[in-house]
Structure 1
Amino acid sequence: MTALDERPAQADSATTTVSVAEYLGARLLQAGVGHLFGVPGDFNLDLLDGLATVEGLAWVGSPNELGAGYAADAYARTRGLGVVVTTYGVGELSVLNAVAGAAAEDVPLLHVVGSPRRAAVEAGALVHHTLADGDFGHFSRAAAEVTVVAETLTLERAAEQIDTVVLAAMTERKPTYLAVPQDLALARVDAGPLEHPLTAASDPAALARFETRLAELLADAQRPVLVVGQLVPRFGLAVQLADLAARAGVAVVTQLSARGVLDADHPCSAGDSAGTMLPNGSADVVAAADVVVQVGTLLTAELTGFGSHRRPDADTPYLAATTAGFGADPGGRVLFPDALAALDRALQGRRGPRWATAPAGPAPRVEEAGPLTQAQTWQALAELLPSGTALLADTGTAYWGAAGMPLPADTVFGGQPVWSSIGYALPAVLGQGLADRTRRPVLVIGDGAAQMTVQELSTIAAAGLAPVVLLLDNRGYTIERALQSPRAGYNDVAAWDWCALVPALTGGRGLATAVSTAAGLRTALTDAFAAPDRLTLVQAHLDADDTPPLIDALARLATAAKG
């Protein structure tokens, strides 16, 4: 893909202008975006026609806007920016849940909306896709609640506004919103700014202050620990973190939202962290530390074992997307990559002992006789999952089962532990697969979650992706059964014929098989992993009340938290 700072895209050599759509496309290419996800609608058709002229941008249409938003979210987690394009009103409200999820999960997602013509807005016209009240601001105001920047484009400031939303999403790792009026999509703007890539900078004085105090804290630390959160993978800094830890010999625990950023066999890995909810000793490592550094963390209930973690104090260093400080200090403007580099330098000066992970003993074997169980399922997947995949786990038994499963080396792990919207991970396969074709997506999802977004299998197949899908069929929402009212009818879902549905949705390009024993599951997974070019769904029949251990721990802590 050619960078636009090297080749001004679609520029008119006589006037050095481009259309608004071309300017937007150029900035997206510079940011590493090669795919646009979305659904067409009459208010965005001029915009889509303009974007179609930008070489290097591919359109990926989805059956609905929500699936497109989830796909763009997963794409952004790998590429550093994802884009979803919808029409005004009906389209943008359909994707709002995905945008809110991106806000909660620190995902740089740009939502581009084709909006009505300026004349219609100025006249308060009663046109379709509105509330027929003459107020065209309802939906941009809603978007402002879940984005860090929300702009409605004007001709006078079009280039500036596009630059603002793109740069803000990439810098803050949060969603942004850009409404493009229908009559401005093909208007001409100055192409000159495209010669200069978008950049953001830290405040040098704030960075120096943070590094100085951090170095003082760490100089004599005997047992420092880094608690690593989702901003490390969001900024694509997993390799830098691993190198930093190895050079400094400092213990690292990873929140579930950052699972996989450090391989389990890394000498400094002290395991995943979720307070005392995880029985792996990571909570004890953090409790015994003399300095705990919060590296891009988010301290929500589920990520901290419902508050069973060690709480930060006034001296606790933290690294956030655009600030770095200590305790409740708001800190100065320090961008996350710069703060991580400062942490690296500060750690090199410490004089304490090096951390070394104790060798892990062999995992206890699970008896494989009888009907298929959750324990057998996760044991089989852990043993058969190839390295180098992208393992995506949907909210519910799928996520909490996968969270307790050892990962092979070089595994990208994805899910939504903060927003926890069921159905997210199936469209996420599309975004992850297109963002990085070197990794085969492997999806684990419950039947209830899959029913939310299953139509995206058609787009996945059309895109030439061949994931392995492990469908946990327990006839409903087992995580909700574990939390409350296990016999309630509202936790049941209708039975689907998955083995017939998969070929139908994929045009015959997908294969499905059903299993109900551990031996059957192992055979099906072995066959699926051995066929890298075939989309395969394995329907695993499980008891409705069977849960992975972390669901039981989650339920106990959630019940206790209610008092």
Structure 2
Amino acid sequence: MSASMDIRTKSLSKPVNVAQYLFTRLYQIGIRSVHGLPGDYNLVALDYLPECNLKWVGSVNELNASYAADGYARVKGISALITTFGVGELSAINGIAGAYSEMVPVVHIVGCPSTISQRNGMLLHHTLGNGDFNVFADMSASVSCAVAKLNDPAEVAAQIDHTLRECYIKSRPVYIMLPSDVVEDQVEGARLDTEIDLSIVENEPEREDYVVDLILKTLHSSKKAVVLADACAIRHRAVPELTAFLDKTNLPVFVTPMGKSAVDETKENYGGVYAGDASHPDVKALVEGADVVLAVGGLKSDFNTAGFSYKTSQLNTIDLHSDHCVVRYSEYPGVKMGGVLRKVTERLDMSKLSVQKIAHVGPQAVAEKLEGADQIIDQKWFWPRVSDFLKENDIVVTETGTANFGIWDTKFPKGVTGLNQVLWGSIGWAVGACQGAALGAKDAGSDRRTILFEGDGSFQLTAQEVSTMMRHDLNIILFVLCNDGYTIERFIHGEEAEYNDVVEWKYKELVTVFGGSEQRTKKYRVNNKGELDALLNDQDFNDRKGMRFVEVVMDRMDAPNSLRLTAEASAKNNARRE
């Protein structure tokens, strides 16, 4: 220890080492389990997890770990991922990029070579051999809202606090580079007596009031106003304000595919899923015929809008976002939606608000009467049938592909949390995210069921994560939709192309291969509507805990109509030329 370091350490009132400080802060912001894989540059740090009451998950690989951290954060509020330098962090960066794209707060901690090794440019393993130890941090900087290199113990505590606050407030990943020789350096532990302030800075009152008055004037003069709830209402924690507004006004409300579960779908004013031309005709007519569309947390990506097929006018639209608002064609930077929604709700004069009554025009609450029990399961029947199977407070995870589109036709009971990755769309994400989501629920003290709908092609990318689900005894029902390959790609291009085929696995046997016990796991295969209907009605299947793994046999070219329309729009967009 240098003389200056010794003097600094002696001046600390409550010395703790860096790992203890970092992990205590993770615990304080709500994290209870940490995903990742061990590597020689992070091993010493991992020793301190138990002391800080954090559970090590032990993922199968770094990509799966990053997907799982994404799912955990969506349920628990924020998550942490630990990888090793270079080889580990690069395997995780796809999942981190997805979390950045979809606005999910993940703390990515990378154990890296010592500060001395870095200064001397040593030729170490897991490096590019060129002495550049910042190259991987530079790669991650583009998919992180903050980067902290914990090289100087005098600054480490402040760096950690700032970075964790940025992660939570901006709802995006952050990158923390932890050198192996800094792990046990001492920092001021007295700071831990005061938790990090995670409150959002309130809007400037005069600017906020001006926007609120404009919105009130617009709503009071409307005759057919509707609300459209989207992903950012969920990601930026504006659902309580949105719920309060809807409870007071009872205005018709619709959700986008990414916004599904943002509102209570059992309420009489819920109308269904709006996604432009892929919407139910009645939904499309109501949203596009509105004289005011109050869009909360809009994210108008191609798949979220069915190929940019919205037919709403900006002249009739109020857009509320996490960092700005737009009223018709006027934008108000720095005015955040949470404060605006609260004031609009408080000041709205219900005697001046016209509220149109609507019938629930989205998906049917129940499937059509079962006829032809021996018929192969089709998408049109399957997804409404799932509505009856779901219970209050379930967590429903859908993979990119038929499941992401089919779930539009499922009505969620009260309290259901829906997870999807419509914007980033990395197939295989949902298996890891399901594990993380189920663990997040368990860490929150809940026995909520986590239900995954996964295509067979996507499942093959990340199937190993089933072993982590069983290792932690998570309450998961996993439906693998066996339709012989990449169905969404077949509709975009290459219906009969070999590159859209996959090898047919004996999927449910993986439960045994990955170590599932007969007591805590059960596996099934359903070949027709009658078998599936019987399974979904089975009390043991519904009520038992642990892993339930179901193969669902479907036709390779059967797909929800919304997928067909979106795939057609995507194909046209891919082929566009100036």
TM-score scaled by structure 2? Answer: 0.89
**Pairwise mapping of residues 107-186 of structure 1 onto structure 2 (< 5 A)?**
107-154=104-151, 155-186=153-184
C-alpha separation in 1, matches of 2:331 and 2:118: 40
Shift of the 379–220 alpha-carbon distance from structure 1 to 2, 3 Å rule, reads: closer
- 288-297 or 467-476, which moves further after superposition? 288-297
Equivalences, count: 552
- 2:511 matches 1:514: no
Number of the residue aligned with 1:433: 438
| CA contact 2:76–2:440 (8 Å) conserved in 1 | yes
CA-CA distance at 1:86 after TM superposition: 0.7
**Cα displacement string for residues 115-143 of structure 1 (whole angstroms, at most 9, x for unaligned residues):** 11111111111101111111111111111
**Pairwise mapping of residues 184-199 of structure 1 onto structure 2 (< 5 A)?**
184-194=182-192, 195-199=194-198
SS at match of 1:129: coil
Q: Percent identity at matched positions?
A: 30
Number of the residue aligned with 2:265: 264
C-alpha separation in 1, matches of 2:284 and 2:458: 31
Number of the residue aligned with 1:370: 375
**Cα displacement string for residues 258-310 of structure 1 (whole angstroms, at most 9, x for unaligned residues):** 10222323132222111121115333223222322221111111111212114
Shift of the 36–358 alpha-carbon distance from structure 1 to 2, 3 Å rule, reads: same
C-alpha separation in 2, matches of 1:180 and 1:334: 36
Number of the residue aligned with 2:535: 524
**Pairwise mapping of residues 1-12 of structure 1 onto structure 2 (< 5 A)?**
none
Number of the residue aligned with 1:275: 276
CA-CA distance at 1:62 after TM superposition: 0.3
**Cα displacement string for residues 175-204 of structure 1 (whole angstroms, at most 9, x for unaligned residues):** 111111111122111223331432341342
Number of the residue aligned with 1:221: 222
**Cα displacement string for residues 509-554 of structure 1 (whole angstroms, at most 9, x for unaligned residues):** 4222222111111223333633421411111122222222222222
Q: 2:476 aligns with which of 459, 462, 467?
A: 467
Equivalent position amino acid for 2:196 in 1: P
| CA contact 1:296–1:319 (8 Å) conserved in 2 | yes
Number of the residue aligned with 2:567: 555
Number of the residue aligned with 1:501: 510
Equivalent position amino acid for 1:109 in 2: V
C-alpha separation in 1, matches of 2:570 and 2:282: 21
SS at match of 1:520: helix
**Pairwise mapping of residues 354-433 of structure 1 onto structure 2 (< 5 A)?**
354-359=355-360, 364-365=368-369, 367-368=371-372, 369-433=374-438
CA-CA distance at 1:247 after TM superposition: 0.2
C-alpha separation in 1, matches of 2:385 and 2:219: 42
**Cα displacement string for residues 435-454 of structure 1 (whole angstroms, at most 9, x for unaligned residues):** 12331001110111111111
**Cα displacement string for residues 477-514 of structure 1 (whole angstroms, at most 9, x for unaligned residues):** 11111211111111111121223221221432422222
Q: 1:480 aligns with which of 483, 486, 489?
A: 489
SS at match of 1:513: strand
C-alpha separation in 1, matches of 2:541 and 2:93: 35
Shift of the 13–532 alpha-carbon distance from structure 1 to 2, 3 Å rule, reads: farther
C-alpha separation in 2, matches of 1:39 and 1:543: 38
C-alpha separation in 1, matches of 2:457 and 2:231: 26
| CA contact 1:153–1:181 (8 Å) conserved in 2 | yes
- 247-256 or 287-296, which moves further after superposition? 287-296
SS at match of 2:304: helix
Shift of the 49–350 alpha-carbon distance from structure 1 to 2, 3 Å rule, reads: farther
- 18-27 or 179-188, which moves further after superposition? 18-27
Which ranges in structure 1 are unaligned for 5 or more consecutive residues?
1-11
Equivalent position amino acid for 1:324 in 2: C
C-alpha separation in 2, matches of 1:249 and 1:347: 12
Number of the residue aligned with 1:6: none
**Cα displacement string for residues 43-86 of structure 1 (whole angstroms, at most 9, x for unaligned residues):** 1112222333113x211110101111111111111222111111
| CA contact 1:367–1:376 (8 Å) conserved in 2 | no
| CA contact 1:513–1:539 (8 Å) conserved in 2 | yes
Equivalent position amino acid for 1:395 in 2: T
C-alpha separation in 2, matches of 1:150 and 1:187: 20
**C-alpha RMSD of the superposition:** 2.4
Q: 1:93 aligns with which of 69, 90, 110?
A: 90
Shift of the 334–510 alpha-carbon distance from structure 1 to 2, 3 Å rule, reads: same
CA-CA distance at 1:146 after TM superposition: 0.9
CA-CA distance at 1:349 after TM superposition: 6.2
Which ranges in structure 2 are unaligned for 5 or more consecutive residues?
1-9
C-alpha separation in 1, matches of 2:19 and 2:312: 47
Shift of the 187–256 alpha-carbon distance from structure 1 to 2, 3 Å rule, reads: same
- 2:105 matches 1:105: no
SS at match of 1:103: helix
SS at match of 2:405: helix
CA-CA distance at 1:31 after TM superposition: 1.5
SS at match of 1:276: helix
C-alpha separation in 1, matches of 2:170 and 2:313: 22
Number of the residue aligned with 1:3: none
**Pairwise mapping of residues 287-326 of structure 1 onto structure 2 (< 5 A)?**
287-311=288-312, 313=314, 316-326=317-327
CA-CA distance at 1:27 after TM superposition: 2.0
Number of the residue aligned with 1:67: 64
Equivalent position amino acid for 1:139 in 2: F
- 448-457 or 352-361, which moves further after superposition? 352-361
| CA contact 2:165–2:196 (8 Å) conserved in 1 | no
Number of the residue aligned with 1:8: none
| CA contact 1:126–1:132 (8 Å) conserved in 2 | yes
Equivalent position amino acid for 1:88 in 2: F
C-alpha separation in 2, matches of 1:208 and 1:231: 22
Equivalent position amino acid for 1:93 in 2: L
TM-score scaled by structure 1? Answer: 0.92
SS at match of 2:26: helix
C-alpha separation in 2, matches of 1:365 and 1:159: 62
SS at match of 2:454: strand
Number of the residue aligned with 1:16: 14
- 2:202 matches 1:202: yes
Shift of the 158–494 alpha-carbon distance from structure 1 to 2, 3 Å rule, reads: same
Shift of the 333–364 alpha-carbon distance from structure 1 to 2, 3 Å rule, reads: same
| CA contact 2:150–2:179 (8 Å) conserved in 1 | yes
Equivalent position amino acid for 1:447 in 2: D
Shift of the 38–355 alpha-carbon distance from structure 1 to 2, 3 Å rule, reads: farther
